[in-house]
Amino acid sequence: MATPTPGLTTTVEDGVAILTLNRPEVRNAFDDALIAALTAAYETAIADPAAVAILLRANGPVFCSGGDLNWMRRMAAYSREENLADAERLGALMRTIDLSPKPTLVRIHGSAFAGATGLIACNDIAVAVPEAEFAVTEVRIGLIPAVISPYLVRAMGARQARRYFLTAERFSAATALELGLVHEVVPAEALDAAIARHLKALKAASPASLGATKALVAAVDRPLDDAVIADTARRIADQRASADGREGVTAFLEKRKPNWGAA
């Protein structure tokens, strides 16, 4: 039975916890309420003995457009301390997905921008359609992709991350595949079958072995630690509170070009 929460629907079907972003009217943009709901949903799925794996998907034509405009308006008026707490909550969501002992999958049926690319990079298996587009857009509004950066750099490599973080350019699903952000690109009509194929393989494995294997990969890859996570939250809080951060977000919300360097 599906359980609705603000902007999110959760259900467990045939051993899979399915989390569905359900804000199509705002292109599934996330805000503080959705971040909290997602974090709680992942924690519940991780603790649920009926769930072998966790699948993130979305309703509507867009997978996720990044941050919600109303949330960004509130952030523009936040103090540095409020920005820090807000960023730490997003960081906690990313860390929860990344450290899940259960396999995590993401079904990308449409475009994903800004923080949504971080959500994708946190997951173990990412499958997208050819029409999907991606972009890490923070610099265009005077911010930096701080909280999502450890996961994107790990997925794409530092060299490619430099380019796409700095230019904020859009890139295709084919490019995302080459970069390592997604694992597979399939036609829309084959998307559910591809997800089902991965889930079948996961269900054939020992649940304990799956968790142990994820821990093994993290151990040999020298995982992120609390200091890195805290540092990324501090960096985005500083940037949001900076002159360029406030000017960039304000200009974006007012649909005008930013006046960089303005006092």
98 within 8 A of 151, measured Cβ to Cβ: yes
pLDDT for 3: 67
Over the stretch 214-223, which tens digit does the pLDDT of each residue have? 998 988 887 7
Read off the pLDDT of each residue in 222-227 and give the average, rounded to a whole number: 81
Buried b (16+ CB within 10 A) or exposed e, 48-79: eeebbbbbbbbebebbbbbbbeebbeebbebe
Cα distance between residue 55 and residue 44, in whole Å: 13
Chain-wide mean pLDDT for the chain? 94
Query: Which of 88, 131, 138, 247 is the catalytic position?
Result: 138
Over the stretch 15-49, which tens digit does the pLDDT of each residue have? 999 999 999 999 999 999 999 999 999 999 999 99
pLDDT for 199: 98
**Residue of 117, 190, 189, 185 whose CA lies nearest to 156:** 117
Check whether 263 has a pLDDT greater than 60.
no
138 included as an active-site residue = yes
Check whether 261 has a pLDDT greater than 80.
no
At 108, give phi and psi (nearest 5°): -110, 100
**Residue of 85, 99, 75, 119 whose CA lies nearest to 230:** 85
Over the stretch 123-177, which tens digit does the pLDDT of each residue have? 999 999 999 999 999 999 999 999 999 999 999 999 999 999 999 999 999 999 9
Read off the pLDDT of each residue in 102-119 and give the average, rounded to a whole number: 97
